[in-house]
């Protein structure tokens, strides 16, 4: 049985990741998983967005929101490392902010949970990329996410370009998967907050 991410994290050393190969990329499907989410999904996560390493947007063209270590336990305790998809929502703070109405909607997301082998991280992290163009950052804001499915294992890479290619493919797979009716319904799940129109542009 494949160990969960939490079980891996409790070991003395970071688990090795398989090296990404051209054969893996060529054989990747555009849609993954069953027509209806299956156990352990859906998995809900929430917490304040933390500052990460700053690599997602700068190095990879894929800005990510990092959740605090303690907020990823509901997922790391039941799921293995890898790339996942679902929905996320940045919660509008009580004070005025640079967020627009479009920024606080429930939006598609792709998430990496693991050690980012290409960058040799020493601790388990969960990094969520919300597929939306934000005009301002939202560090310190609350974020909620529902994880609905698994895309692929965590991999190591020989080049940044290969990693970027896979990230872009992951985004397409996530969007394709979320088009299925049983997955779309989670964008209206009561776990998320209703968007109030007052005071939001």
Active site amino acids? 127
CB 147 within 8 A of CB 42: yes
Residue 152 is encoded by which pair of tokens? 């692929």
Residue/partner pairs of 175-181 with CB below 8 Å, 24 or more apart: 175/108, 175/131, 176/30, 176/31, 177/31, 177/32, 177/33, 177/85, 177/148, 177/149, 177/151, 178/85, 178/86, 178/87, 178/108, 178/148, 180/31, 180/35
106, burial (CB in 10 Å: exposed 0-12, middle 13-18, buried 19+): buried
Beta 125-130 vs 82-90: how paired, if at all?
Answer: unpaired
Q: Check residue 50 and report its DSSP letter.
A: B
């Amino acid at each position: 049985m494949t160990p969960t991410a939490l079980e891996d994290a409790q070991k003395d050393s970071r688990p090795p990741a398989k090296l990404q190969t051209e054969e893996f990329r060529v054989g990747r499907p555009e849609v993954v998983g069953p027509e209806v989410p299956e156990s352990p999904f859906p998995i809900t996560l929430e917490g304040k967005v933390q500052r990460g390493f700053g690599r997602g947007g700068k190095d990879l063209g894929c800005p990510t929101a990092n959740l605090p270590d303690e907020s990823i336990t509901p997922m790391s305790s039941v799921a293995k490392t890898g790339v996942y998809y679902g929905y996320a929502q940045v919660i509008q703070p009580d004070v005025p902010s640079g967020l627009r109405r479009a920024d606080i909607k429930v939006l598609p997301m792709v998430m990496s949970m693991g050690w980012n082998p290409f960058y040799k991280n020493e601790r388990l992290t969960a990094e969520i990329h919300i597929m939306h163009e934000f005009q301002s950052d939202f560090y310190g804001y609350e974020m909620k996410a529902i994880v609905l499915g698994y895309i692929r294992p965590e991999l190591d890479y020989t080049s940044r370009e290969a990693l970027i290619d896979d990230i872009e493919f992951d985004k397409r797979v996530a969007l394709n998967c979320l088009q299925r009716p049983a997955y779309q319904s989670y964008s209206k799940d009561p776990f998320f907050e209703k968007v109030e129109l007052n005071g939001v542009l």
